[in-house]
Amino acid sequence: MSGWRSRSAQFLLALLLFLLALPWLGPAGAELLPATGHGRLMEVCLLILIYVILALGLNVVVGFTGLLDLGYVAFMTVGAYTSVLLYRQPEWQFTGSFFVVAFIAGLHCALWGVLRGAPTLRLTGDYYAIVTLAFAEIVFLLVLNESWLTGGPSGIKGYPPIALSYQEAPARQVELRLRVSPDPRGSTPENPSGLTAEPSFTPQDLWLGELSPDASPGLRRRYERSSPDSGAGPELRFRNWDGQMAFVELEAQAPWVVLGSGVIDGESPGSAVQIPMEGREPGAFLKPLIYWDLALLSPGEYRAEIRLEPRFARQVLKDGTPGFFYLVLLLALITLGAVTLLHHSRLGRAWAAIKADPVSARSCGIQVGGEKMIAFAFSGFVGGVGGSLMAFKFLIVSTNIFDFWSSIVVLCCIVLGGMGNIRGVLIGALCFIGLGELLREPYLFAGVSDSTRAWVENSGGIVKQILSVKEEGVELNLARTRYLFFGLILVLFMIFRPGGLLPPGGRGKPLLPELRQRLTALAGDLFHLRKDPPGA
Amino acid sequence: MRDPAHILEAEGITVQFGGVRAVAGVSLAIHEGSITALIGPNGAGKTTFFNALTRLVQPTSGRLRFVAAEGEVELTTMPPDHIARAGIARTFQNIRLFTDLSVLDNVKVGLHGRTRGGFWRALAGNRAEEQRLTGAALEYLDFVGLAQREAEQSDSLSYGEQRKLEIARALACGPRLLLLDEPAAGMNPQETQALVELIRRIRRAGVTILLIEHDMKLVMRISDFVYVLDHGELIAQGEPALVQKDARVIEAYLGPQYRPPAGEAN
Which of B47, B100, B131, B154 is the best residue to mutate to test the A interface, defined by the most A CB atoms within 10 Å of its own CB?
Answer: B100
Q: Do A359 and B56 touch (CB under 8 A)?
A: yes
Closest CA in chain A for residue B114: A365
The answer to whether residue A43 scores a pLDDT higher than 50 is yes
| Backbone φ, ψ for residue B212 (5° rounding) | -100, 130
pLDDT value at residue A334: 96
Q: Of the given ranges (A187-191, A210-214, A351-355), which has the lowest mean pLDDT?
A: A210-214
- What's the rounded Cα separation, in Å, for the pair B26 and B52? 11
pLDDT at A209 over 50: no
Confidence of residue A260 (pLDDT cuts 50, 70, 90): very low
Portion of chain A with pLDDT greater than 70, in percent = 65
Calculate mean pLDDT across residues A37-43: 70
CB contact under 8 A, A364 and B113: yes
Selected residue of A346, A359, A366 to mutate for chain B interface (largest B Cβ count, 10 A): A346
**Could you tell me if B96 lies within 8 Å of chain A, comparing CB atoms?**
yes
Phi-psi map region of B175: left, alpha, beta (phi>0 left; psi -120 to 50 alpha): beta
Q: How confident is the model at residue B196 (pLDDT cuts 50, 70, 90)?
A: very high
- Reply yes or no on whether the pLDDT at A446 is more than 50: yes
Q: Which residues of B touch A345 (CB under 8 A)?
A: 117, 121-122, 125-126, 130
Cα nearest neighbour of A351 on chain B = B109
Which chain B residue shows the shortest CA-CA distance from A348?
B122
Is A287 or B113 the better-scoring residue by pLDDT? B113
Do the strands A396-397 and A223-224 form a parallel or antiparallel pair, or are they unpaired? unpaired
Per mean pLDDT, which of A441-450, A526-535, B103-112 is the most reliable?
Answer: B103-112
Q: Which of A262-271, A460-469, B100-109 has the highest mean pLDDT?
A: B100-109
The beta-carbon neighbor of B125 closest among A341, A378, A420 is A341
**Chain A residues lying within 8 Å of B84, measured CB to CB:** 362-365
DSSP state letter for A64: I
Instruction: Check whether A225 has a pLDDT greater than 60.
Output: no
Q: Out of A16-25, A311-320, B175-184, pick the least confident.
A: A311-320
The reported pLDDT for the residue numbered A212 is: 35
Is the per-residue pLDDT at A29 higher than 60? no
Across the beta sheet with B20-31, the strand order is B20-31, B6-17, B61-68, B71-74
pLDDT tier, A445 (very low <50, low <70, confident <90, very high otherwise): confident
For B249-259, the pLDDT digits (tens) are 888 888 777 66
What pLDDT is stored for residue B118 in this prediction? Answer: 81
Contacts of B118 in chain A (CB under 8 A): 346-347, 374
Calpha distance B190→B198 (Å, rounded): 12
Residue A448 has pLDDT above 60, yes or no: yes
pLDDT level of residue A208 (50, 70, 90 thresholds): very low
- List all residues 6 or more positions away from B151 whose beta carbon is below 8 Å from its beta carbon: B102, B103, B104
Does the pLDDT at position A175 exceed 80?
Answer: no
What pLDDT does A206 receive?
Answer: 46
Calculate the alpha carbon distances from A186 to A192, A193, A215, A422 in Å.
8, 8, 19, 74
Q: What is the dihedral of CA A79, A81, A85, A87, to 10 degrees?
A: 60
Q: Which residue has the higher pLDDT, A317 or A327?
A: A327
pLDDT in tens, A334-385: 999 999 999 999 999 999 999 999 999 999 999 999 999 999 999 999 999 9
Q: Is A372 on the interface with B (CB under 8 A)?
A: no
Angle at A487 between CA A485 and CA A491, to 5 degrees: 115
DSSP B86-107: HTEEE--SS----TTSBHHHHH
Query: Residue B54 is nearest to which of A355, A363, A505, comparing CB atoms?
Result: A363
Q: Using CA atoms, how far apart are residues A272 and A289, in angstroms rounded to an integer?
A: 8
Asked whether the beta carbons of residue B112 and residue A353 sit closer than 8 angstroms, the reply is yes
Å between A73 CA and nearest CA of chain B: 24
> Given this model, what pLDDT does residue A221 score?
34
Residue B136 has pLDDT above 50, yes or no: yes
Domains of chain B, by residue range, sit at: 1-87+175-266, 98-174
- Per CB-CB distance under 8 Å, the chain B contacts of A346 are 108, 112, 115, 117-118, 121-122, 129, 133
Residue of B nearest to A366 (CA): B81
Residue from A265, A290, A103 nearest A199 by CA: A290
pLDDT the model gives residue A219: 29
Given an 8 Å threshold on Cβ–Cβ distance, is B123 in contact with A342?
yes
When CB atoms are compared, the residue of A341, A361, A420 closest to B123 is A341
**Residue B197's pLDDT is what?**
94
Q: pLDDT grade, residue B56 (50/70/90)?
A: very high
Window from A253-257, A328-332, A503-507, B181-185 with minimum mean pLDDT: A253-257
* Residue A363 to residue B118, Cβ atoms within 8 A: no
Query: Which of A348, A355, A505 is nearest residue B122 as measured by Cβ atoms?
Result: A348
Confidence at B66, pLDDT banded by 50, 70, 90: very high
Chain B contact for A361 (CB, 8 A cutoff): yes
Q: Give exposure, A328-345, as e/b (b: 16+ Cβ within 10 Å).
A: bbebbeebbebbebbbbb
Residues 401-430 of chain A with CB under 8 A from chain B are 420
Are B48 and B57 within 8 A, CB to CB?
yes
Cβ within 8 Å, pair B110-A364: yes
Mean residue pLDDT across chain B: 90
Do A364 and B89 count as a contact with CB atoms less than 8 A apart?
Answer: yes
Using CA atoms, how far apart are residues A109 and A128, in angstroms rounded to an integer? 18
pLDDT tens digits along B211-247: 999 988 899 999 999 999 999 999 999 999 898 888 8
Residue of B113, B119, B129 lying closest to A347 (CB–CB): B119
Q: Are B92 and A374 within 8 A, CB to CB?
A: no
**Comparing A378 with A231, which gets the higher pLDDT?**
A378
The complex's ipTM works out to 0.91
Mean pLDDT confidence for A460-480:
79
Residues of B in contact with A341 (CB under 8 A): 122-123, 125
Shortest CA gap A62–chain B (Å): 15
Q: For residue range A400-427, what is the model confidence (pLDDT) as tens digits?
A: 999 888 999 999 999 888 888 898 899 9
Q: Could you say which of B109, B113, B123 has the minimum Cβ distance to residue A349?
A: B109
Higher-confidence position of A304 and A62: A62
In this complex, do A378 and B119 lie within 8 Å of one another by their Cβ atoms? yes
Q: What is the pLDDT at residue A90?
A: 56
Confidence of residue A529 (pLDDT cuts 50, 70, 90): low
CA distances to A75, A383, A414, B117 from A60, rounded to whole Å, are 14, 11, 10, 18
Q: What is the pLDDT of residue A199?
A: 65
Tell which phi-psi region holds residue B228, choosing left (phi > 0), alpha (psi between -120 and 50) or beta: beta
Mean pLDDT of chain A: 75
Query: Mutating which of B94, B99, B102, B112 best tests the A interface, going by the most A Cβ atoms within 10 A?
Result: B112
- Are A353 and B126 within 8 A, CB to CB? no
Check residues A304 and A18 and name the one with the higher pLDDT: A18
Confidence of residue A279 (pLDDT cuts 50, 70, 90): very low
- Give the max Cα distance, chain B: 73
Q: Does A355 touch chain B (CB under 8 A)?
A: yes
Task: For the domain made up of B1-87+175-266, give the CATH fold.
Answer: Rossmann fold (3.40.50)
Size of interface A-B (CB pairs under 8 A): 104
Residue-wise burial string across A365-385, b where 16 or more C-beta atoms lie within 10 A, e elsewhere = bbbbeebbbbbbbbbbbbbbb
Which region among A168-177, A211-220, B31-40 has the lowest average model confidence (pLDDT)? A211-220
Name every chain B residue with its beta carbon within 8 A of the beta carbon of A113. none
Mean pLDDT over A194-208 rounds to 58
pLDDT given for residue A360 in this prediction = 93
Instruction: Decide which of B46 and A22 is more confident.
Output: B46
Share of chain A above pLDDT 90, in %: 29
The answer to whether the Cβ–Cβ distance between B119 and A350 falls below 8 Å is: no
What is the arithmetic mean of pLDDT over B157-181? Answer: 94
Interface check A5 vs B, CB under 8 A: no
CA distance A483 to A439: 10
pLDDT at A213: 35
Asked if the Cβ–Cβ distance from B173 to A338 is below 8 Å, we say no
Of A179-193, A316-330, B131-145, the one with minimum mean pLDDT is A179-193
